[in-house]
Structure 1
Amino acid sequence: MNILVTGGAGFIGSHVVDSYIELGHNVIVVDNLSSGSLENLNPKAKFYHLDIRDDKVEEIFKSEKIDIVNHHAAQMDVRKSVEDPIYDADVNIIGSLKLLQFSIKYGVKKFIFASTGGAIYGEQDYFPADEEHPTRPLSPYGVAKLTVEKYLYFYKEVHGLNYVILRYANIYGPRQNPHGEAGVVAIFTSKMLKGEQPIINGDGFQTRDYTYVGDVVKANLLALNYDKSDVFNIGTGIETDVNTLFRKLKELTGANCDEVHGPPKPGEQRRSVISYEKVYRTLGWKPEISLDEGLKLTVEFFKNKFAERSR
């Protein structure tokens, strides 16, 4: 199949591209490299250095005869969305709408959408949250993701476009960008290996559902062959607080840093953890990499990367 992966040079998207290529699919990548990197890009993928909002993207749909769109390109920084909701909406809503319009126009069979299980539910009523939990996003980023989910329902009902929505927990692993505000595992690991001091926001007891990127890739593989339209949480159902994460990473990196706390970030969610029961029941997906194993793999990746750069 001809599969278009937006954000295919990014952290999660590049791993998805690798797995699709391994299966023998023809993969086309669109990425503006704002957070992605050419070193993540699979050499067997056909690459277009474009923003998803660019009208030239239509030419790709026209010439590449796309069967499936896997949409990972996004403005993914929650705090940036709070500071500049208009920019966030332009990328995450308008950019997605353009892809949906082209999908209808050029006969795309399925649209796989990377949504958020962290930001979409807001402060949870129960733990872990399932897909029926009320959606009360506390950031423009979460609002935008929910908006695109609603548009997908519209495009299915009115235009017959099948979709699979994957609501991700807090994804971590090799290739995660340590330079943004998002991705605490990458940020802490990078600072620890460089001998710098990581800062824990607030008291550090805020929890997240940390899910390894390799497990997320498997969900994107299963989505290819699912013939219905649905929404699935992709997480572990396990809460881990930031203080615990800090200590695990400190031990793995051998860092000699203190546990330093800074001011809390305004509007930061206190607890976030999602249930994977539905996707297990429907597609047979479950997380297979434990947090300890995933952190070990991630630290090894960053160690190797820093060793290569210092040669």
Structure 2
Amino acid sequence: MTKKKVLIFGAAGFVGSNLVRKSLAEDAEVTAVDSLEPLLKSTMDSLAPVLPRINFIKGDIRDQQLLKQVVPDQDIIFNCAAQTSHPLSVQNPVWDTTITCIGQLRLLEAMRDYNPNAVLVYPSSSTVIGKAVGDVIDESHGERPLDIYSANKGVAEKYCRIFHKVYDLKSVVLRFPNLYGPLGKNDPAFGFINYFIHQAAADKPIEIWGEGLQTRNAMFVDDATDIMWQAAYNPKLVGETYFAVHHDHHTVREVADMIVNVFGRGKIDLKPWPDFRKRIEIEHVLFSGAKLHYHTNWRPQYSLPEGLRLTKQRMEGGY
């Protein structure tokens, strides 16, 4: 059987580096691209153990000559290239826009021109909706994003839909919740759960703003990479957007308590809300993954305690 050729942008990031490992486990021929932008805290450390098994290219998704080189002949393309910090996106909105929106457009143009048969899987964010209206959030919920990152993710989603309608390009958009797992960044700007994990692992305080009663949907990164691979093979999903979320929801305080319990270290420290973060806080969420489940029968495999235990195991084992 011929190996699938897989192209991953943002391959040194959290999701990207886990996706590289998933793709290798699927016996794919992997081309991994990352700009290694210092502001995004991406380094080669996340890829070092698997580097001999992949074709790594230091490059930028906005580089049209690079796209002309790497897009042809690929079977599956995963675009994980993004500036993933909500606060940084507001502080530097043009930079965020060029990566997420211009990068996505140039990739879609390259697929149209050089490889119209490839499948693009785009990991988006559940935060595109902003504050929830109503009890349960599904794909029919309106979009009123509260920060530039979320707004641009929503725009990039729509580029996929337009290129599918106009040029028949095959793309699937998956809106993920708060992902966590090994290779996550030790910085609160890039996701609170991974930051909490690093704090606990170092036996440092876990700061929670307010009482931590706001609800979140947390999903282990292996579940995310699993559905990304499934999406690449399922023609029923092409041209659509789906919430790929966990069926369980937890408060931020519950998440922190579980992390402290699993790692056996760290402590919780309640702090007042910073004004800036309060302004972009989405508060409570309750997502439904029913649409995706209907088309694929997929459900996340790992509970939060199970995912945290695996994260600890891999962090200690040099994953």
Q: Which TM-score applies when normalising by structure 2? A: 0.89
The answer to whether structure 1 residue 52 and structure 2 residue 52 are counterparts is: no
Match of 1:19 among 9, 19, 22: 22
The answer to whether structure 1 residue 38 and structure 2 residue 44 are counterparts is: yes
| Partner in structure 2 of residue 223 of structure 1 | 231
| Partner in structure 2 of residue 107 of structure 1 | 115
Q: Tell me the CA shift for residue 29 of structure 1.
A: 0.9
The answer to whether structure 1 residue 243 and structure 2 residue 260 are counterparts is: no
Is 1:68–1:108's contact at 8 Å kept on the other side of the alignment?
no
CA distance in 1, matches of 2:313, 2:75: 36
How has the CA–CA distance of structure 1 residues 301 and 201 changed in structure 2, closer, same or farther, with 3 Å as cutoff? Answer: farther
Match of 1:97 among 105, 118, 121: 105
The answer to whether structure 1 residue 28 and structure 2 residue 41 are counterparts is: no
Is 1:237–1:273's contact at 8 Å kept on the other side of the alignment?
no
Q: Tell me the CA shift for residue 112 of structure 1.
A: 1.0
Letter in 1 for 2:106: K
Match of 2:184 among 164, 168, 176: 176
The answer to whether structure 1 residue 82 and structure 2 residue 95 are counterparts is: no
CA distance in 2, matches of 1:293, 1:46: 32
Is 2:177–2:219's contact at 8 Å kept on the other side of the alignment?
yes
State percent identity of aligned pairs. 27
| Partner in structure 1 of residue 11 of structure 2 | 8
CA distance in 2, matches of 1:164, 1:261: 39
**How big is the alpha-carbon RMSD for the aligned residues of Structure 1 and Structure 2?**
1.9
Q: Which moved more, 1:163-172 or 1:222-231?
A: 222-231
Q: Tell me the CA shift for residue 87 of structure 1.
A: 1.2
The answer to whether structure 1 residue 281 and structure 2 residue 306 are counterparts is: no
How has the CA–CA distance of structure 1 residues 258 and 140 changed in structure 2, closer, same or farther, with 3 Å as cutoff? Answer: closer
Is 2:201–2:266's contact at 8 Å kept on the other side of the alignment?
no
CA distance in 2, matches of 1:127, 1:215: 25
How has the CA–CA distance of structure 1 residues 252 and 40 changed in structure 2, closer, same or farther, with 3 Å as cutoff? Answer: same
Secondary structure of 1:198 counterpart? strand
The answer to whether structure 1 residue 125 and structure 2 residue 133 are counterparts is: yes
Secondary structure of 2:267 counterpart? coil
Q: Tell me the CA shift for residue 303 of structure 1.
A: 4.1
Q: Which moved more, 1:230-239 or 1:36-45?
A: 36-45
Secondary structure of 1:95 counterpart? helix
Larger helix proportion of the pair:
2
The answer to whether structure 1 residue 135 and structure 2 residue 148 are counterparts is: no
Structure 2: which 5+ residue stretches go unaligned?
none
CA distance in 1, matches of 2:299, 2:172: 17
Q: Which TM-score applies when normalising by structure 1? A: 0.91
